[in-house]
A and B are shown apart, each in its own frame.
Chain A
């Protein structure tokens, strides 16, 4: 197990470094010059040079990348701004604040957004999926499949916009989405994120219902489920103890992918609800050519995907003993 985790972690680090490098070098292929943006309205060449030096952009590309990379592990010194200690992702070009701090400040929101929604859509999706599978062809199954299809076909910005309008502005049923740290007040934390959770859940539940239903149907046809029934196990325990175990494996994979993608791709959700998470930060980084911030948000996003992949693989080992050895 430990070996496995070590190997996967190493692989993940390599992947992240590649992604970071691609981002970094592509950034300089973008025809925008961050120094020019930093320089202001009227910018004579000397000032431009000055701005370039201030941002550290006057060094060779590769050297810049290396110092960025080594900054993560050993920290880095910034002229005028002081030392940036060990996991140093650099200083933002735009506001000169350490990127890491900003990211850490935003991450709880994005994670809360994701985890909260995931809990809802996972529980609902799996539950309805199981019921649909057990009531194959019945009304409930059909309702579940139709609604899941509609859920899968709508977009966050569509539902989100309408939900904001009708539930918040018009009828004041829900609160304007707002992030309050969990540690500060768990109740307002939940209340503040309820709307995005519901909207995200609306869209994602569908997939889980579908997946659960079809895998469950498959599982119910498995030989070992038949064995369980032949052993005299009650219908309930056949489903909950035997069929569900096998159903969870693919579901957990999808959940891992979704969690990674949600954290990494919260852009649309956060834009729709005006929440200040990592997604918004990344958009800001893009529009303002803020390389260190962009690198950091890309790393967070890719890191989320990669980390959740590893978590999924570890989860496998818990769900499926066959995986444990190999």
Chain B
């Protein structure tokens, strides 16, 4: 259980069902100082050398760590940049949070309000100058600058205020931030306003990667990053290609995370997923050493890819760590019975089929995602396990007892080819239960703007959210946080009891207890309020060339991570 949509049987014929892929959610624990020592644990058969070709559709928009929030960019950043902490792969599916630049995951004091990190010896910038605590402090300070608009904001808020950009405008005008102290070159102390037990997780975000004070070029840094990681960007043709070569000043002995086996990386952008996968399936010539970070097999090729046993060794798969939700607009959908009825009637299985079947999507039942939630507990409030294609009878019953037995629901969707089809399915199912669906396609560029308006005219719309570290603390307080235009509380849930509960859990210093509390709150919210429908959870199937070894999907980032990749001789 917990993985309701996981593939069941196997077979090679076109009319067949999808093959099994035993999937186990990752284990993520906190490592010790010993764990934090380099070098990284090599995957089986790993050798150094060679060039790996990475194919993907989109180039990376940001190299300045402070601007990075997107998994693809974070993933690339692992090659050229480091942070205080990071996740170390022990074996496949088994991870530990360890110190990256820091000797360990940090030492809390003052009830979790003060966090102290010590930098390792021998960590250097690409020009050989040592990385100092001054650099680390500078890196945090510059995230307050006005030109930084994209990266994470947790630590900034902890250090100053919710409206952190007002509190401090960055270091460029000579002012520094008092709440970060650097007693010496190796030590750095963060002083938060409130306790944060999960701070060591926060510092693992790529957004808190380091930038050298001496080489900071402000806006331009986004184009010309200074490497602290194993590689240096040799050439970058925007939206076209990137070439990486080794950073001679990176010492594997200091790095517990990055294997950095290939000598060179060549990255090509611009092809659609279909083409990339056709190339990878063909596996001819130079493409044998090719892989992709993010261009997983599109549904159109799933049957072929999963049905072909010769591809088994070049196939990776992992369900998404992101939550996908169909939010009810609580300002408009006032009757909880209607919301529950919709949950019961929801055509999860049909949507799954539209997306490519059980191999392409799992059907979770909880708000929090099992991949990114330490202490995950499943529940099934709307009978999805038994009736994944919708319990129309139950829905009708609920509706009959509700304030409006034949409601009309305005469903807004992001107008992409896939969402168009999903909409057809949703409409078809809900109408069977007597719910009229008015579907409104929204332009994909303005989709979030439109649904982000508090005064919108829609009843139901899709939205996604992913945890920033494996805990409910970066999910529930966000998607049920403050209601304002553009804020991700798309349900407009404003329940004082829930808010109080979230504040309480946030303040907990015991991480395990907090995780359990988040899980309980998850169920409570769905039970008492039902602000959303938990949607299908996509499963990525990713191919790589036959000469690529060590390819694994990072279950948290949902992307093939570069740390273990090597070229087979």
Chain A residues close to B by CB (< 8 Å): 30-33, 36-48, 50-51, 53-54, 80-82, 92, 94-97, 101-102, 105-106, 164-165, 168-169, 172, 176, 271, 274-276, 280-281, 284, 287-289
Whether A281 contacts B239 by the Cβ 8 Å rule is yes
Chain A hits for B238, CB < 8 A: 92, 95, 97, 101-102, 105
Contact B150–A33 (Cβ < 8 Å): no
Residue of A at shortest CB range from B449? A36
- Chain A residues with Cβ below 8 Å from B488 are 41-42
Q: Which of A30, A169, A274 has its CB near the most chain B CB atoms (within 10 A)?
A: A274
Taking a contact as CB atoms under 8 Å apart, the answer to whether B449 and A54 are in contact is: no
Report B-chain residues with C-beta under 8 Å of the C-beta of A53.
146
Contact partner, B149, options A31, A38, A80, A287, Cβ 8 Å: A38
Extra pairs beyond A42-B488, A81-B220 (18, CB < 8 Å): A33-B446, A40-B151, A42-B153, A43-B486, A44-B163, A54-B147, A54-B149, A80-B147, A80-B220, A95-B61, A96-B222, A101-B238, A102-B239, A168-B282, A169-B282, A274-B275, A276-B270, A281-B239
User: What are 16 A-B interface contacts by the 8 Å CB criterion?
Assistant: A39-B150, A44-B163, A45-B486, A50-B146, A54-B149, A80-B218, A80-B219, A95-B59, A95-B223, A96-B219, A105-B240, A164-B278, A169-B279, A176-B287, A274-B271, A289-B445
> Closest approach, in angstroms, between the C-beta of A59 and any C-beta of chain B?
17
Kindly provide the distance from the CB of B191 to the nearest chain A CB, expressed in whole angstroms: 24
**In the complex, which residues of chain A have a beta carbon less than 8 angstroms from the beta carbon of B276?**
274
- Contact residues in A for B484 (Cβ distance below 8 Å): 44
Specify the chain B residue showing the minimal Cβ separation from A82.
B220
Among B238, B443, B488, max chain A CB count under 10 A is at B238
Residues of chain B within 8 A of A276, CB atoms compared: 239-240, 269-270
CB-CB under 8 A from A164, the residues of chain B are 275, 278
B168 at the interface (CB under 8 A from A): no
Which residue of chain B has the shortest Cβ distance to A47 in the bound complex?
A: B149
Q: Given the complex, which residues of B lie within 8 Å of A37, measured CB to CB? A: 445
CB distance from B156 to the nearest CB of A (A): 12
| Known interface pairs A105-B240, A164-B278, A169-B281; A40-B149 also in contact (CB < 8 Å) | yes
Name B284's contact: one of A32, A45, A172 (CB within 8 Å).
A172
Bound complex: CA of A280 vs CA of B223, how far in Å? 21
A50-B149, A276-B240 known; A41+B69 contact, CB < 8 A: yes
Contact call A44/B486, Cβ cutoff below 8 A = yes
Task: Please name all residues of chain B whose beta carbon is closer than 8 Å to the beta carbon of A36 when the two chains form the complex.
Answer: 446, 448-449, 486
Chain A residues contacting B22 (CB-CB under 8 Å) are none
Top 8 closest pairs, chain A to chain B, by CB? A274-B271, A80-B219, A32-B445, A276-B270, A40-B150, A274-B275, A169-B282, A32-B446
Q: Which B residues touch A287, using CB under 8 A? A: 444-445
Set A33, A38, A176, A274: member contacting B272, Cβ < 8 A = A274
Q: Check B487–A42 contact: CB distance below 8 A.
A: yes
A136 to B445, CA, bound (A): 55
On chain B, the residues within 8 Å of A44 by CB distance are 163, 484, 486
**Residues in chain A near residue B445, CB distance under 8 A:** 30, 32, 37, 287-289
Complexed CA–CA distance, A289 and B61 (Å):
14
Taking CB as reference atom, which chain A residue is nearest B153? A42
B residues 251-291 with Cβ under 8 Å of A? Answer: 269-272, 275-276, 278-279, 281-282, 284, 287
Chain B residues whose CB sits within 8 angstroms of the CB of A105 once the complex forms: 237-238, 240
* Cβ contact within 8 Å between A32 and B443: yes
Instruction: Tell me the complex Cα distance, A52–B149, Å.
Output: 11
Find residues 405-459 in chain B having any chain A CB closer than 8 Å to their own CB: 443-446, 448-449
Complex interface: chain A residues within 8 A of B448 (CB): 36
A70–B272 Cα distance when bound, in Å, is: 37
Shortest CB distance A145–B (Å): 34
Q: What's the least CB distance linking B444 to chain A, in Å?
A: 8
CB neighbours of A51 from chain B (8 A): 149
Chain A residues with CB under 8 Å of B113's CB are none
Q: A271–B272 contact, CB under 8 A?
A: yes
Q: Is B387 an interface residue (CB 8 A)?
A: no
B462, chain A: closest CB distance, angstroms: 15
Within the complex, the shortest CB–CB distance from B55 to chain A, in Å, comes to 9
CB distance from A192 to the nearest CB of B (A): 12
Q: Check A284/B239 contact, CB under 8 A, given A40-B149, A96-B219, A276-B270.
A: yes
Give the distance in Å from the alpha carbon of A165 to the alpha carbon of B277 in the complex. 12
Residue of B nearest to A81 (CB): B219
Complex interface: chain A residues within 8 A of B59 (CB): 95
CA gap between A36 and B451 in the complex, in Å: 13
With the chains together, A101 CA to B147 CA distance in Å?
A: 23
Q: Which residues of B contact A176 (CB under 8 A)?
A: 279, 287
CB of B165 within 8 Å of the partner chain: yes
Cβ contacts under 8 Å, A82 to chain B: 220
Contacts of B146 on A, CB cut-off 8 Å?
Answer: 50, 53-54
Closest B residue, CB atoms, query A31: B446
- Provide the residues of chain B in CB contact with A33, threshold 8 Å: 446, 449
What chain B residues lie within 8 Å of A42 (beta carbons)? 153, 478, 486-488
Which of B150, B284, B478, B488 is most buried by chain A, counting CB atoms within 10 A of its CB?
B150
Q: Which residues of chain B are near A288, meaning CB under 8 Å?
A: 445
A80 CB to nearest B CB, Å: 4
Q: How far is the CA of A81 from the CA of B219 in the complex (A)?
A: 6
Closest to A105 in B: B237
- Chain B's closest residue to A109 (CB) is B240
Query: From residue A123, how far is it (CB to closest CB) to chain B in Å?
Result: 30
Q: Give complex CA distance A280, B270 in Å.
A: 8
Residues from chain B with Cβ under 8 Å of A95 in the complex: 59, 61, 223, 238-239
Set of chain B residues within 8 Å of A47, measured between Cβ atoms: 149, 165
Shortest distance in angstroms between A41's beta carbon and chain B's nearest beta carbon? 6
Q: Which residue of B lies closest to A94 (CB)?
A: B61
Complexed CA–CA distance, A95 and B272 (Å)? 20
User: Residues of B contacting A271 with CB < 8 Å?
Assistant: 272
- A7 CB to closest chain B CB, in angstroms? 37
Contact B278 A165 (CB under 8 A): yes
Q: How far is it, in angstroms, between the C-alpha of A37 and the C-alpha of B443 when the chains are bound?
A: 13
- Of the listed residues B218, B219, B269, B445, the one surrounded by the most CB atoms of chain A closer than 10 A to its CB is B445
- A294 CB, nearest partner CB in chain B, Å: 12
Output the least CB separation between B301 and chain A (Å): 11
Inter-chain CA distance A188–B165, complex, in Å, is 53
Tell me the minimal C-beta distance from A66 to chain B in angstroms: 23
Identify which of residues 28-66 in chain B touch chain A, using a CB-to-CB cut-off of 8 Å.
Answer: 59, 61
Closest to A270 in B: B270
